[in-house]
Amino acid sequence: MTFRNFLLFLVVATATVVTATTPDFPRDAAGQERLWNETIQAILEFKKEFDAHPELYQAEDGDALLTVPEIIARYGYPWEAHNVTTEDGYILQLHRIPYGLGCGEGAGKRVAYLQHGLMGDSSNWIITGNKSRGLGVAKYHVFCMTAFELVDACYDVWMGNYRGNTYSRLHTDPNKADFYDFSWHEMGMYDIPASIDYILTATSAPSLYYVGHSMGCTAFFVAMSERPEYNAKVKLMSALAPATFMPNTKSLVVRLLLGLMPIFDRPPYMLVLPIEWTERLAAALCKTGSPTQPLCAMILFLIGGDNAPQLDLVSLPAILGHSPAGSSSKTFLHYGQSILSGEFRKYDYGAEKNPEHYDGALTPPAYDLKKITTKIAIYYGPNDFLADRVDVIRSVREFGNGTVVNLREIEDPLFNHLDFVWAKDQHKLVNEVVMDFMEEFTNPTPTTTAPSGGITLGGGGVAMWVVVLLVTGFWGMKSSI
Ligand SMILES: *[C@@H]1O[C@H](CO)[C@@H](O)[C@H](O)[C@H]1NC(C)=O
Ligand SMILES: *[C@@H]1O[C@H](CO)[C@@H](O)[C@H](O)[C@H]1NC(C)=O
Ligand SMILES: *[C@@H]1O[C@H](CO)[C@@H](O)[C@H](O)[C@H]1NC(C)=O
Ligand SMILES: *[C@@H]1O[C@H](CO)[C@@H](O)[C@H](O)[C@H]1NC(C)=O
């Protein structure tokens, strides 16, 4: 076991103790039992089906090892890769699908810019494909390909990659020592503005449609409040599970990591979970038929909330072959600060160092959400452990009046944070709803839609700790062989 992996193991163990003693740790026994039951049952039933008809569950395991352009090409769509240099020298890779089925090339198309969340990359918008699996009552259809759906609806689609992920690890200064000294603050200040400018120049469009998932929203709000001139360049922002205020975050894994913050909160900031470290391992451990597959599902549920019926186990190797795509430790720390402070504000360097960064102020200044004038449509999941409903609603109140033009709860009581990326029914539950509103917003008809109600709280089982602990240790040992 390498030192780094030993440290990770130690961290999770420590965090376990910290989390178990956190007063707002979900202790709803019925919720925990339901989660545990449902997950185990779903996985056992799936295993039975799979053993009976393995040929009906052909996975795109190969996608785990393909790049995003290679996957786009495999589906028969055209692609382009563009290098964008930010004002502070980071080189980001944008992936473009310029046109699709039934919509040829040509000017005057709507332009969509999709931005992934923490530890994601551009693969988040194309992974898992469009196919039926299984037989009879066990038959299901998986369809989560946001980018292709937008392309087929005649959008010119651009997918961003934040600094630090698989596709964006270059800098104009190849010897830059503090490469990972950034958080979502810098992504908002530089990555999003640079990408928007590049896309608008390349397409000659006056403005674009932005779609962000989680940190794709966090950094967007930083960009629009700190550099308000960019508001006019975005026609509509569709916010999927926006992470802004975070005090009600229920995610166990995230709460665990809070305990580790003091250890990591100092330079040099480092790269967390680079893809090279996990892709082959994930493909092997999470493959259908592998006895460790349920653990892979459990880890995802612990992070973003549980929704066994919507997780396509067959797609796990492809998903985990791309995500986690890596980010800086400072990005995690900045989120940790949001959870602890309950505020949406700049990086906290501590009372001693803050004055140097913030004109003598002891605490970091809050982002001024009132400066955001781009119209925002917000979509949230009722069982999202990270972007909690209460926090999402608070952000709606903090935006200026008239800024939020749509607020929708996804119509699945178990819908969680990561379902926005790869739920089996993403097409019906998310993409149709989001794209219908984009159309409605652009060409309004007299009818309006009201937000739906209802809220279900999910929980996490203490028993799952043990699982996480074991898996982390296992990964650690395995990776050092
Ligand atoms: C969980 O499963 C056990 C055993 O199958 C059952 O007795 C119990 O009622 C279930 N609990 C919930 C909340 O579904
Ligand atoms: C983008 O940068 C990469 C890495 O330096 C390089 O291999 C590639 O050719 C560049 N692409 C373009 C279009 O300039
Ligand atoms: C998805 O698959 C269904 C059924 O095979 C097909 O009718 C539909 O056109 C496909 N959609 C896309 C965007 O590929
Ligand atoms: C929004 O409208 C309410 C009610 O009209 C008002 O009390 C509040 O001050 C307004 N907020 C902003 C930011 O304009």
How much distance in Å is there from the Cα of 173 to the middle of ligand 2? 15
Residue 382 in domain: yes
Query: CA 115, CA 148: separation in Å to the nearest integer?
Result: 15
Residue 303 in domain: no
Predicted confidence (pLDDT) at residue 27 exceeds the cutoff of 80: no
Atom 14 (ligand 1) nearest CA: 34
401 in contact with ligand 4, CB cutoff 6 A: yes
403 within 8 A of 375, measured Cβ to Cβ: yes
Which ligand 4 atom lies nearest to the CA of residue 400? 13
Among 116, 213, 417, 427, the one annotated catalytic: 417
Please confirm, yes or no, whether 214 is among the known catalytic residues. Answer: yes
The total number of structural domains in the chain stands at 1
152 in contact with ligand 3, CB cutoff 6 A: yes
Predicted confidence (pLDDT) at residue 17 exceeds the cutoff of 80: no
- Max CA distance (Å), the chain: 68
Residue 12 in domain: no
Average pLDDT over residues 22-40: 55
Average pLDDT over residues 371-376: 97
- Looking at residue 469, its pLDDT comes to 43
How much distance in Å is there from the Cα of 36 to the middle of ligand 1? 9
Predicted confidence (pLDDT) at residue 175 exceeds the cutoff of 80: yes
Nearest of 68, 374, 97 to residue 208 by alpha carbon: 374
Please confirm, yes or no, whether 168 is among the known catalytic residues. Answer: no
Query: CA 346, CA 344: separation in Å to the nearest integer?
Result: 7
Residue 45 in domain: no
Predicted confidence (pLDDT) at residue 470 exceeds the cutoff of 80: no
148 in contact with ligand 3, CB cutoff 6 A: yes
pLDDT digits (tens, 9 = 90+) for 187-245: 999 999 999 999 999 999 999 999 999 999 999 999 999 999 999 999 999 999 999 99
Nearest of 257, 249, 256 to residue 458 by alpha carbon: 249
pTM of the predicted model as reported, rounded to 2 decimal places: 0.82
Q: Where is average pLDDT lowest: 88-102, 218-232, 261-275, 426-440?
A: 261-275
Average pLDDT over residues 323-339: 91
pLDDT digits (tens, 9 = 90+) for 152-161: 899 999 999 9
Predicted confidence (pLDDT) at residue 348 exceeds the cutoff of 60: yes
Which ligand 1 atom lies nearest to the CA of residue 36? 1
Report the sign of the C-alpha dihedral through residues 262, 268, 269, 270, in that order: negative
Nearest of 185, 189, 65 to residue 127 by alpha carbon: 65
pLDDT digits (tens, 9 = 90+) for 283-313: 777 877 777 777 777 777 777 777 878 888 8
101 in contact with ligand 3, CB cutoff 6 A: no
How much distance in Å is there from the Cα of 402 to the middle of ligand 4? 10
Q: Where is average pLDDT lowest: 78-87, 204-213, 324-333, 404-413?
A: 324-333
- The domain of 207 spans 66-279+323-447
Residue 441 in domain: yes
Residue 284 in domain: no
The model's confidence at residue 62, banded by pLDDT at 50, 70 and 90, is low
CB proximity list for 18: less than 8 A, separation 6 or greater: 255, 256, 258, 259
Predicted confidence (pLDDT) at residue 105 exceeds the cutoff of 90: no
Average pLDDT over residues 169-184: 94
Q: Where is average pLDDT lowest: 7-21, 120-134, 346-360?
A: 7-21
Could you check whether the bond before residue 324 is cis, i.e. omega within 30 degrees of 0?
A: yes
Of residues 34 and 387, more confidently modeled: 387
350 in contact with ligand 4, CB cutoff 6 A: no
Among 195, 214, 315, 323, the one annotated catalytic: 214
The model's confidence at residue 48, banded by pLDDT at 50, 70 and 90, is confident
Predicted confidence (pLDDT) at residue 259 exceeds the cutoff of 50: yes
Residue 460 in domain: no
- Looking at residue 161, its pLDDT comes to 97
Q: 393: domain CATH number?
A: 3.40.50.1820
83 in contact with ligand 2, CB cutoff 6 A: yes
Q: What is the mean pLDDT of the chain?
A: 82
Of residues 19 and 179, more confidently modeled: 179
Average pLDDT over residues 133-157: 82
Residue 60 in domain: no
Predicted confidence (pLDDT) at residue 182 exceeds the cutoff of 90: yes
402 in contact with ligand 4, CB cutoff 6 A: no
Nearest 5°: the CA angle 243, 245, 246 is 80
Predicted confidence (pLDDT) at residue 365 exceeds the cutoff of 50: yes
CB proximity list for 303: less than 8 A, separation 6 or greater: 251, 253, 254, 385, 386, 417, 418
Which ligand 3 atom lies nearest to the CA of residue 143? 1
- Looking at residue 321, its pLDDT comes to 82
Average pLDDT over residues 301-328: 83
How much distance in Å is there from the Cα of 262 to the middle of ligand 1? 40
Which ligand 3 atom lies nearest to the CA of residue 149? 13
19 within 8 A of 252, measured Cβ to Cβ: yes
